[in-house]
Amino acid sequence: MGSLLKHLWGSERKSPPVRRAGPRVHGDAAAIVYPSVDPGLPVLSVDHILEQNEDLIARIKLAYGSEIQAFSADLLPLIRRYAEFVHLLPATSDNYFCSPGGLFRLGLEIAFFSLQGTDGQIFSGRATILQRRELEPRWRKATFIAGLCHEIHRTLSHLVVTDSQGNEWPFYISALSTWLASTGADRYFLKWVPNAGEMRSLGVFALPRVVDNDTLQYLAQGNSVVVPQMMGSVSGMPCQREHGVLDQLVRRAAALVIDRDLRASADRYGKPILGSHLERYLLDGMRRLVADSEAWKPNAERSRVWYGSDGVFIVWPNAAADLAKLLEADQLPGIPKSSETILEILVAAGVVQPQNESRATWDIYPPNAKKSLEAIRLVFPDILFGASPASPVPIGASLLTPAPEAVASPAVPAPAPTPGTAPAVAVPAVDGRTPAGQHQLPLRFDRSRRPSSTAASDGENAAPADHDAGAPGIGIDDVIAPAPDQAATPGADDSPPIRFAFLSPARLNPSIREAIEDIIGTMNGNPADVAARTVAQGVFVPLKAFERRKVEPAIAVRALAELAALAITAGTQAKTAVHEFCGERLSGVVILPQFVAGLCPADFAITCPEEVR
């Protein structure tokens, strides 16, 4: 029975005999040398390396779903050039895929699972059906390339390859197999670079050895996003994070493949190195939380991140729960749930500076904190803020010593409001103007919606309330605070000025959240620029308002509906409605008042799903 590779290349091609690594054999006895001598790696033909992985190549062909001729023209040249470049190099010295040929096998497995993950994925959601039909093959091929070259940066940063004469492989000039053929070597030797860091951006320089110019031109034809997304994934700097389906597939596949190999290695060789491949995902998760989560905004009230004159601190273990939840949503296997395990990985990776040999965390004293908080200390601020275009400014005071003003003083209770009247609240003006009441319904603060006493008693170390769907426990009091220099006169006005804000659920897409926050925020400013208005069921937002902020209305409607944040038209169960807006009848959505700070649900005739009532 002919093999797959014989079908692809012809049965007349012969493979050289296998050269096994190990001591040379003389007669019936092996030559034993003490101390032991590094036998090196044998110089095998690329055909032989491919035949050793024929089972996986056959699975890749099935996942690609094409005839042998198409597979031979599209993917097989990429696999062959990758084998020529990495040859029998292992991926790591003593961890995952550390056997000869480990790097080649690792790239093949990540490419296979990445390609398999493209089934059922929509890469160009805003494109037409005809456009998606043209782009889909390019997205699949780019995903396969990104998976194949996901770890290729290791050849340029983690090891040095020499022949028996001590000549080093010039990896920027030629592939390893080409250099070995030019030197006439029959074996080559490895030297691992001590304490080599994760320099994924070097993979961009090795990529031309695998991907030729014709392939890049094919991927770039008719679009301007496929090649940048592929290059961003290979370099470890993905672009357009909220829409980076390609990078998400590759990262998930890499975590799966490495986790599987570590589990298999643990059965045969003992316990693998703890979390040796997870620090990249933990660091990336922390940077994403700093960029997207309000709870991780540096030096904000009740923040997880504090940046002072003595370094960057992250409140622990609260931050570990956020990090584990984020990575679990990415469906990355092998991510630990325990905060202790996550901390051990970060300390072992040199990311966190422990206080001493017996304690890894520190006690910090943020401004206005009622008590000290337990936190971890990063070695360098750039670890968290290096990729950010605007690094935050540290507070001038030290976080490791209590501030003098933090000494406890008798609390002065606020005067109780007059019965039957709403407490007056000073609202900051917008552009020097007090927000005008441009709304059709009487509005008031709902001061009964406060966090529970349990959450309040946890102090600064408590997790902020999660504005999830149907979470009416957050009032306007928890979104804005009275300005200290504006004294309110009780009873002066039963309808104080109100500042409106969107109470965003934590799991809402960041781009959609920012668009809605901006739309709701227009209700506080110039009436000529308002983009939303109140109606009988809540706040009406025209679909055109999403389009002006470059958000697809259908995606925004679906996301809000999944969070049960929309008022449903009675009888039809429609998620959209038509209302009068600026002299026109426009189609839009009605956001429930529970999700808009400054509104009292009792003033509205709410028609919504049962779980929000």
What digits encode the pLDDT tens for the residues 81-129?
A: 999 999 999 998 888 888 899 999 999 999 999 999 888 777 776 767 7
Please tell me whether residues 78 and 219 are part of one structural domain. Answer: yes
Please report whether residue 163 resides in a domain: yes
- Do residue 249 and residue 296 come from a single domain? no
Give yes or no for a contact between 233 and 246, defined as CB atoms under 8 angstroms apart. Answer: yes
pLDDT of residue 309: 82
Tell me, yes or no, whether 547 and 603 share the same domain: yes
Digit-coded pLDDT (tens) for 562-600: 888 888 765 566 788 888 888 888 889 999 988 888 887
Claim to verify: residue 236 and residue 289 sit in the same structural domain: no
Whether residue 246 sits in one domain with residue 97: yes
> Is residue 202 assigned to a domain?
yes
Same domain, 254 and 381: no
Both 239 and 152 in a single domain?
Answer: yes
The residue among 516, 492, 512 whose CA lies nearest residue 502 is 516
Q: Mean per-residue pLDDT for 1-7?
A: 54
Q: How far lies 243's CA from each of 100, 229, 239, in Å?
A: 37, 10, 8
In a domain, 344, yes or no: yes
With beta carbons less than 8 A apart as the criterion, state whether 187 and 40 touch: yes
- Based on the fold, state whether residues 94 and 234 are members of the same structural domain: yes
Half-sphere exposure of 397 (CA within 13 A, CB side): 15
pLDDT digits (tens, 9 = 90+) for 157-198: 888 898 888 889 999 999 999 999 999 888 999 888 887 777
Residue 355, C-beta contacts closer than 8 angstroms, at least 6 positions apart: 361, 362, 377
Q: Given this model, what pLDDT does residue 469 score?
A: 37
CA 16 to chain centre: 46
For residue 442, is it within any domain?
no
Over residues 543-568, the mean pLDDT reads: 86
Tens digit of pLDDT for each residue in 434-457? 333 333 333 433 434 333 333 333
Domain edge (last residue) among 367, 385, 405? 405
pLDDT per position as a tens digit, 501-535: 888 777 788 888 889 989 998 988 888 888 999 88
Domain tally for the chain?
3
Residue 315, domain extent: 279-405
Last residue in a domain, options 217, 245, 269: 269
- Segment 293-308 mean pLDDT: 86
What integer pLDDT is reported at residue 526 of this predicted model? 82
468 in the same domain as 351: no
Q: Report the pLDDT value the prediction gives residue 178, as an integer from 0 to 100.
A: 93
Q: Is residue 147 within 8 Å of residue 110, measured between CB atoms? A: yes
Top-confidence residue, 499 or 30 = 499
Q: Give the CATH number for residue 55.
A: 1.10.3210.40
Q: Which of 381, 405, 429 is the last residue of a domain?
A: 405
